Amino acid sequence: MPEALPPVFRRAVVALSGGPFDHKIVRLALDLTRQTHAELIAVHVVELNWTQPLDAEVAERSEEAQRVLDEAEGIAESMHAKIESVLVQARDVGAAIVDEAEAREADLLILGLSYRTRFGGDFAIGRAVPYALKNAPCAVWVVREPMGEESK
């Protein structure tokens, strides 16, 4: 059987949540795009509630958001790769990520998914991942972090 070739992507968007799993997703995305010489765009969305204007200055959140993007850029630099970082303020994370992938004409959208359970023990997928799976105009890869020892 012939060896399968990796898929070819010109441009990939990787959504960063600010969680501890981001560094693994960035490395995975960088490895993928390095093989194909594709562009990689890291997007972090600061979610605003409905009482705030979309152009509101959210200083403490912006510092945290900038840290998330700086870490992604640091990982890329350590791997001798390039990554473009984008900070977006929006009311809905899923819609903002899909809009960014569409605006960038991305071939691939990569999202990380924390392994979380709700009260009662049911696995919680959140809203952004289902929104992206339903609405993204490109391929969507969801990478779930491994279960923690306490989850087993």
pLDDT 10s digits, 67-81: 999 999 999 999 999
The CATH number linked to 135 is 3.40.50.620
Sign of the alpha-carbon dihedral angle for 20, 21, 24, 28? negative
Looking up tokens 């605006």 gives 103
121 within some domain? yes
| 120 SS3 class | coil
Q: What is the pLDDT of residue 15?
A: 97
Q: What are 126's two structure tokens?
A: 């959140």
Q: Is residue 32 part of a domain?
A: yes
Specify if 4 maps to a domain. no
Domain extent for 65: 11-151
How confident is the model over 32-58, as a mean pLDDT?
80
pLDDT category of residue 6 using cuts at 50, 70 and 90: low
The answer to whether residue 70 is domain-embedded is yes
Split into its structural domains, the chain has a count of 1
Burial (0-12, 13-18, 19+ Cβ within 10 Å), 16: buried
Residue-wise pLDDT tens digits, 27-44: 999 998 887 889 999 999
For residue 123, pLDDT over 90 is answered with no
What pLDDT is stored for residue 48 in this prediction?
A: 79
